[in-house]
A and B are shown apart, each in its own frame.
Chain A
Amino acid sequence: MRRILGLLLLALGLAWAQGDKLKACFIYVGPIGDAGWTYAHDQGRKKAEAALPWLETRYVESVPEAQALPVIDRFVREGCQVIFATSFGYMEAVLEGAKKYPNVIFAHATGVKRAPNVATYMADFYQVYYLNGLAAGALSKTGKVGYVAAFPIPEVKRHINAFTLGVRAVNPKAQVLVRWINAWYDPAKAREATEALLAQGADVFAFTEDTPTVIQTAAKKGAYSFGHYTPMLKFAPDHVVSGQIVHWDVIYIDFLKKVKEGVYTAKNLQNVDYFWLLQHKAVEMGADYGVPINPKHVPLLQKAEMTVGGKKVSVYDRIMSLLKDMQSPKPTFDPFTGPIQDRKGVVRIPAGKKATLQELLTMEWAAPGVVGDWPGEPK
């Protein structure tokens, strides 16, 4: 009797120790204080931990690509069941680690290669960029909109194109002047690139860089801007019109819940790819959380008009109705709906067709209105 009781207690203890908690571990490419990419992932981790009582998390920050595999080894030794790798450059390490530890579940942000125990995920901004482009087109007096861009890769090009399509939908003659700084984080380059664009007459700015530098520089000269990645309204309350904000927690919570429920296992992730958008609430259009457009700029956008299907509508109404549509479970509108030609006149998306996921992920062409160097532009 006593032995049975003992065994029972032991079994219960084991069940409690193993069954209840799920341990998820995160590999970050930058410091969690970078106020951009890694900061946003860490916010997602914290929110997931707060929302899921059975979740236990760990993280290692500022992991260089070559160090990713040793970190994976360490995480597995420490009992991590799910490992999130949050940088594109971790791809080889993740695939190798997944082979080495077939029972551990991996998820790779911005990744393109999957395996039975490797899923990929991304929260994408292209719809939000289009909406911000509409506002930028309406607000620019010079017809020149500045874009300070990180690296010439498909993700950034897709965002610039979506933004430019928006700008041109309001002002068909407007130009989007692009400057590459070849860095995700470099405030000095962002500052001087913005100064160069200001000197060339740009009066509205969007950007891909991890600090509010572009916003602060533009505001000094009275130019409007759109925040990136985290809410940036407080850095220039009179000049930040809107921006792109990410909610990684939405993806993390969904993924971890499905792991916990046994929907995702280390054997069935081959086709699990999150490419989450406005409708999934993984991204938000906003100058701040819950502030899609800075109230100070609403009257200007209400006054500005654009033509949609032969009818005049206010830019503000157009933005809000498209936002509502794209936030709904079944959006009807997509910025990359044909006919779309690139800036050299080649048809990229035929009339009536929407860009496929594959076309979005491999976009190299430049939209009409984009002005500037465009490395890797197809002939």
Chain B
Amino acid sequence: MEEALVRAVLFGTPMLLASLGALLSERGGVVNLGVEGMMALSALAAFAAALEAGPVWGVLCGVGVGSLLGLFLGVFAVFLRANQFVAGLALAALGLGASGLLGKRYEGTPLPDPLPEGVLAGLALILALGLHLLLSRTRYGLYLRSVGENPKAADLFGVSVDGVRYLALALGGGMIGLAGAYLSLAYRPSWTDGMTSGLGWVAIALVILAGWQPLRAVLGAYFFGLLFFLQFRLQGSVPIPSEAFAAMPYLLVILVLALSGRARAPKALGQPFDRGR
């Protein structure tokens, strides 16, 4: 039992970090479907930096690359007012492809000094709490929420809609980058092409599952982590085929999503803001 809880937290952590990152920009009205690709590139950047300069640089580099990618999405989603869904999907594909191409030389290289997972898991919890406070207790949080609900009104009150959104994408990107760094520096710890194995998509689903609330994202991520572990812990001792077990975490996520259908998305989610119109 204790083992299961530990696994829930340690495997839940990358999904938690990534969903916090996506949640932050979504509260400001920008959908981020690029999470998977952002995680993949950050994981690679973190691994490469950790090999060259040590694990602390690895983490910083992963966070930095995540932030830059968040801003990169911002160029399309905010500056060019492109369709956010298409831009996000393109970023996901680009990140996965580019990390595979750039990472060839890091395949099959062990990491000499991996990071302890527990420290990063604790940091993720603190970040969740911090994000909760940021959204509910600070001026920037208020701006962000108003930009996500009604950007026109926020603009009338003198809030820089684009500025708030860029900052949210950069901060959120940093958290997604940290999720990537967690995978390649602590969880694995090594780098292979495609190592994010769909966790970025789960993180996007978690944002909705959590009703755009950071603290609920914690529970959601740990819940998914627990289910993921249990499919192997229970396999063989319960008369359910392994294929059904493999689908279980995803089925349950869909089920919870369906049951919690009342969660309300930010009103301006996915809509580019154009001041002139």
A33 touches B100 (CB 8 A): yes
> Does the CB pair B229–A187 fall under 8 Å?
no
In the complex, which residues of chain B have a beta carbon less than 8 angstroms from the beta carbon of A234? Answer: 110
Whether B188 and A34, one on each chain, are in contact in the complex, defined by CB atoms closer than 8 angstroms, is: no
Interface contact B187-A195, CB-CB below 8 Å: no
CB pair B100 A188 closer than 8 Å: no
C-alpha spacing A234/B108, complex, angstroms: 9
Q: Which A residues lie within 8 Å of B271 (CB)?
A: none
Q: How large is the interface on A (under 10, 10 to 19, 20 to 34, 35 or more residues)?
A: 35 or more
Stretch at the interface among A20-28, A100-108, A136-144, A177-185: A177-185
- Chain A 197-239 interface 0/1 with B at a Cβ cutoff of 8 Å (1 = within): 1011000000000111100100000000000001000110000
Given contacts A191-B188, A235-B190, A373-B241, A196 and B199 within 8 Å (CB-CB): no
B105 CB to nearest A CB, Å: 9
Residues of A contacting B127 in the complex (Cβ-Cβ under 8 angstroms) = none
| Residues 234-265 of chain B, each 1 if its beta carbon lies under 8 Å from chain A, else 0 | 01100001110010000000000000000000
- Chain B residues whose C-beta falls within 8 Å of the C-beta of A188 in the assembled complex: 11, 187, 197, 199, 228
On whether the beta carbons of B236 and A178 are closer than 8 Å, the reply is yes
A128 interface contact, C-beta 8 A: no
- Chain A residues within an 8 Å CB radius of B194: 31, 34, 185
Q: Please give, as numbers and ranges, the residues of chain B lying within 8 Å of A211 by CB-CB distance.
A: 188, 190, 192, 195
Q: Does A275 contact B (CB under 8 A)?
A: no
The yes or no answer to B193 lying at the interface (CB within 8 A) is yes
A170: CB under 8 A from chain B?
no
- Tell whether A92 is near chain B: CB-to-CB under 8 Å: no
Give the one of B188, B228, B232, B246 with max A CB within 10 A: B232
- Decide if A373 touches B188 in the complex (CB within 8 Å): no
* CB-nearest residue of chain A to B10: A195
Contact between chains at B235 and A179 (CB < 8 Å):
yes
CB distance from A51 to the nearest CB of B (A): 23
Q: Which single residue of chain A is at the shortest CB-CB distance from B108?
A: A35
Q: How far is the CB of B85 from chain A (nearest CB, A)?
A: 24
Is B3 a contact partner of A195 (Cβ separation < 8 A)?
yes
A131 to chain B, nearest CB (A): 24
Expressed in whole angstroms, the minimum distance between the Cβ of B205 and any Cβ of chain A is 16
Q: Which residues of A contact B100 (CB under 8 A)?
A: 31, 33
Q: Considering the chains assembled together, what is the distance between the CA atoms of A196 and B227 in angstroms?
A: 12
Q: Which of B104, B232, B242 contacts A196 (CB 8 A)?
A: B232
Instruction: Out of B103, B110, B229, B231, name the residue touching A33 (CB < 8 Å).
Output: B103
- Quick check: is A85 within 8 A (CB to CB) of the other chain? no
The answer to whether B108 touches A230 (Cβ under 8 A) is: yes
Q: Which residues of A contact B197 (CB under 8 A)?
A: 185-189
Minimum CB distance partner of B233 in chain A: A196
Binary interface profile of B, 180-205, with partner A (CB < 8 Å = 1, else 0)?
00000001111011110101000000
A16-54 contacts to B, CB under 8 A, are 31-35, 39
Are A213 and B246 interface neighbours, CB within 8 A?
Answer: no
Quick check: A192 and B11 within 8 Å, CB to CB? yes
Q: How far is the CA of A39 from the CA of B100 in the complex (A)?
A: 13
* Interface members, chain B 161-197 (any A CB < 8 Å): 187-190, 192-195, 197
The 8 Å CB contact of B236, one of A31, A32, A371, is A371
Flag if A213 contacts B232 (CB, 8 Å): no
Q: How far is the CB of A222 from chain B (nearest CB, A)?
A: 16
Please, what's the 1-or-0 string for A69-104, where 1 marks a CB less than 8 Å from any CB in chain B?
000000000000000000000000000000000000
Does B193 contact A34, Cβ atoms closer than 8 Å? Answer: yes
Q: Is B113 an interface residue (CB 8 A)?
A: no
* A201–B112 alpha-carbon span in the complex (Å): 27
Partner of A177 from the list B110, B193, B236 (CB cut-off 8 Å) is B236
13 more contacts with CB within 8 A, not counting A31-B193, A35-B107, A211-B188, are: A32-B104, A33-B192, A182-B246, A185-B197, A187-B192, A187-B195, A188-B11, A189-B232, A191-B187, A211-B190, A211-B195, A212-B190, A372-B236
List chain B positions with a Cβ less than 8 A from chain A.
3-4, 7, 11, 100, 103-104, 107-108, 110, 187-190, 192-195, 197, 199, 228-229, 231-233, 235-236, 241-243, 246
7 A-B contacts (beta carbon < 8 Å): A39-B107, A178-B236, A179-B232, A192-B231, A192-B232, A195-B229, A212-B110
| Nearest 3 A/B pairs, CB to CB | A372-B236, A196-B232, A180-B242
